[in-house]
Amino acid sequence: MTGNVALDIFIGLVFVYLLYSLFATVILEIITCFERWVTQNVILIV
């Protein structure tokens, strides 16, 4: 892409790091919403 192999690798690693960070954030938000939903339903049941 840029002609410099080291720069291409660095850009690729940064992109992959940001992509995995976003993926981890989405997974944590899903888990948090699920836990909140379960907690609210347990309170309603009891």
Dihedral of the CA atoms 26, 29, 30, 35 (nearest 10)? 160
- Using one digit for the tens of pLDDT, what is the confidence trace for 1-46? 678 999 999 999 999 999 999 999 999 999 999 999 998 888 777 6
- Cβ(8)–Cβ(1) below 8 Å: yes
pLDDT at 27: 98
Q: What pLDDT shows up at residue 21?
A: 98
Q: What is the structure's pLDDT at 43?
A: 76
pTM of model > 0.75: no
Check residue 46 and give its pLDDT.
Answer: 66
